[in-house]
Amino acid sequence: MAGLGGGRRRREPSVEEVRAQEQATAAQERAEERATTQERTEMQGAQARRRLLRRGGLRLLFSPARQEGPGMATTRMLGGGS
């Protein structure tokens, strides 16, 4: 007659459950940190490419940074090629 005594007792979490929860939280924090670092690195790369585009010159002529941007996606061949 557990219902007469005030209901069910709350069970304490086991050591394994607590440890698993802590590990999951730590893993999530590490993943967020990696994502933040990757985003920062990608931003710095994009800024560097924009700096190159502003500078221009012969270095940009054969650079892979030249391929960035909506107007740079299609290139035309000299001599009428497609």
pLDDT of residue 12: 85
pLDDT of residue 58: 62
- Has residue 74 been placed in a domain? no
- Has residue 21 been placed in a domain? yes
How many domains does the chain fold into?
1
Buried b (16+ CB within 10 A) or exposed e, 41-52: eeeeeeeebeeb
| DSSP string over 8-70 | PPPPPPPHHHHHHHHHHHHHHHHHHHHHHHHHHHHHHHHHHHHHHHHH-SHHHHT-GGGG-SS
- Has residue 2 been placed in a domain? no
- Has residue 76 been placed in a domain? no
- From first to last of the 82 residues of the chain, give the pLDDT tens digit: 555 655 677 788 888 999 999 999 999 999 999 999 999 999 999 888 888 777 766 666 666 655 655 555 555 666 665 5
pLDDT of residue 67: 61
- Has residue 33 been placed in a domain? yes
Over its C-alpha atoms, the chain yields an Rg (Å, rounded) of 29
pLDDT of residue 9: 72
Host domain of residue 52 = 16-63
- Has residue 68 been placed in a domain? no
- Has residue 9 been placed in a domain? no
pTM of this prediction? 0.47
- Has residue 49 been placed in a domain? yes
